[in-house]
Structure 1
Amino acid sequence: MSAAVLPLPLVAGLAGLLGLLVGSFVNVVVHRVPAGLSVVRPRSACPACGHEVRERDNVPVVSWLLLRGRCRDCRVRIPLRYPAVEAGTAVLFAVVALAETRPPVLLACLVVAGAGVALALIDLDHGRLPFAVTGTAALLAGAALLAGWTTTWALQGPSAAAGQLVGPLVGVLAWGGVYAALWAVTAGRGMGLGDVALAPLLGLVLGAVGVSAAVVGLALGFALGAVGSLLLTGLGTVRRGQRIPFGPFMLAGAGLGLVAGEPLATGYLRLVGIA
C-alpha cells in the first residue's frame, strides 16, 4: 500500500509544512525537557523580558524574519538556532516523504525524524537522550506501524501481515542487540542507557522500511561516530578517551539508512561478489 493518491512532490511539500510546525515544537522540547518543565504550559515567553510570544510572532521561520531576529518587546536578539531548527526539520520531513511512501511507515518515520532532531540537540547540549522523548516517539511510531499491520491483516490476510513483521523484528534485534551488548561489555563507559533505549526504536522503524535500511543505518552510525571522534580528537575539541555524544551519529546513520540503505547494500553486495 502506498501513499500515492497524491503526487509525490505534493506529499513532500505537505510533509515539509508539517515539519515547520514540528520544528517549532522541537525548539520547545529541547529547551524544556532537560529542565524537567512541561512542554504544554506555560506559553512560550521571551527569556529576557518575560513577555509571552504573541500568536502572530509564533509562525515558524516567517515570524523570525519579520521581527528581524529580535523580540518584539525588548528587542533582544532571538538566536538563529530557532528558525534553523524549524527550517531544517521541514527539509528533513520532505526528504523522508520522498524516501518512504507507505502511509503507516511514513508516519512512523516522521515521528522518529521529529523526535530525532530534538534528541540530537539535547544530546549535544546536555550529553543525554531523555527517555521521555524516546518513549513518546516509540509509542507513536509503534501505533502507526501497528495500524498498518492490522490493516494489512484485514485486507490481505495473515500471511501478508506476517511478512511485514520480518523487517521490524530484524531491525529491533540487530540494533537493540548490538547496543545492549556494547553497553554491557563496556560497563556503560562507551555509551549511555539513552543510546541503548533509542537503538531498538531506530531498528524498528528502519526495519519497517526494509532490512537493508536497518543494517546499513546501523553500520553507518558507527562509521560516522568513528570518523567524528577522530576529527574531534584531532582538532582538540575533545580529549582522547573523553565520551562524546553518540546520539547524533546514531540518528545520522539511521537517516542515511532510510534514504540510501537499499542502493548502498546492493552496491556493497555486488562489490564483494555476492549479488
Structure 2
Amino acid sequence: MSDLTLLAAVSAGMLGLLVGSFVNVVVHRVPAGLSVVRPRSSCPSCGGLVRERDNIPVLSWVLLRGRCRDCRAPISARYPAVEAGTALLFALVATRAPGLPEVLAILAVTGAGVALALIDLEHGRLPFAVTGWAGGLALAALASGWISTGVDSGPGAAWDRAVPALLGAVTWLTVYAAVWASTRGRGMGLGDVALAPVLGLVLGAVGPAQSLTGLALGFLTGAAVGAVLLTTRRAGRRTAIAFGPFMLLGAALGLLAGPAVAEAYLRTVGLA
C-alpha cells in the first residue's frame, strides 16, 4: 500500500467515525419521523442532554463505560459498533475509487447504506429520504468530475467518463424494476427499486466489473441466506426478509472484489 493510499484510507476512516455517529441519529429518528437536526441527542432513560465531550465517536462510550453520565443507564454497544464499522467501511472503499469525485460519491452512499441496512433490518423498509439524499450527493460529486473533465479535455472526454456511471444506474434500475413488476411487489419493495440506481451509479463510475458483479452478488447472497433460513426452518416461504442489506452487501463486495470475482467466473465458464 502506497503512502498516498494509506493517507486516503486513514482520512476516510476518521471521517467515517463522524459519519457513523450521525448514522446512529438517522437510524433512530428517521423511522420515527423525527428531525435529524433538532433537538440535541439525549438519554432515553433520564432525558439528560448528551454533553459535547460525551459525543466523541467510540471513545466517549469507552470512557463512560457504556453508561449515561447522569443516570448511569446502559448505552447500547450498537452505537460504538456502528461508528467503528462505518469508519472501517470508509477506509476500505476510499481506496477503490479512481478519483476524488468517485471517492466522495462512494462515501456518501456508504454512509447512507449503513443507515439503510440497519433501518431495513429493524423496520423492514428503506426510507426514500435517506436514499434520495445519498443519490443526490453521489450524483453531485460525480457530475463535478464530469464537468471538470469537460473543461480540461472537452465534452467527449466528459461523456466517456459519465456513460459508465449512467449505464450502471440504468442497468440496476431496469433489473430491480423488472423483478418488482414480475413479482407484483412480493419480496421486494419500491424502496429497493429506488436504491438500485444509486448503487448502480456509483459502482458504474468505478467500472463495469464492479457494477455487474455487485448486482449479481446481491441476488446470490440473498438467495443463499434465504435457502439457509428455509432449510433450518427459521423462515417460511411467506416470511418477509429485508432485501436491502443484501443489495448493499452485494454492492460492497462488487466494489471491493468485483474484478477478481468477474475474472474467476469467466475462467470457470471458459471465457478467460
What TM-score results when the alignment is normalised by the length of structure 1?
0.96
Q: What is the CA–CA distance in structure 2 between the aligned matches of 1:101 and 1:51, rounded to whole Å?
A: 45
1:264 is aligned, of 253, 261, 265, to 261
The aligned residue for residue 113 of structure 2 is: 116
5 Å-filtered alignment, 1:1-275, equals 7-275=4-272
Report the AA paired with residue 92 of structure 1: L
Residue by residue over 1:183-216, the C-alpha shift from the partner in whole angstroms, topping out at 9 and shown as x without a partner, is 1111111200000000011011100011111100
Give the distance between the partners of 1:267 and 1:218, measured in 2 at CA: 16
Aligned residue type for 2:154: G
Q: Distance in 2 between matches of 1:236 and 1:26?
A: 33
Question: Structure 1: which 5+ runs fail to align?
Answer: none
For 1:120-163, what per-residue CA distance to the aligned partner results, in whole angstroms no more than 9, with x for missing partners? 00000000000000001011000000000000111111221111
- 1:101 and 1:237 mapped to 2: Cα distance? 42
Shift of 1:263: 1.6
**% of aligned pairs identical?**
64
**Structure-1 separation of matches of 2:30 and 2:234:** 26
Q: What is the CA RMSD across the aligned residues, in angstroms?
A: 1.2
Distance in 1, matches of 2:10 and 2:153, equals 31
Separation in structure 2 between the aligned mates of residue 194 and residue 92 of structure 1, nearest angstrom: 23
Deviations 1:13-35 (CA, angstroms, capped at 9, x unpaired): 01000000000000000000000
TM-score (norm: length of structure 2) = 0.97
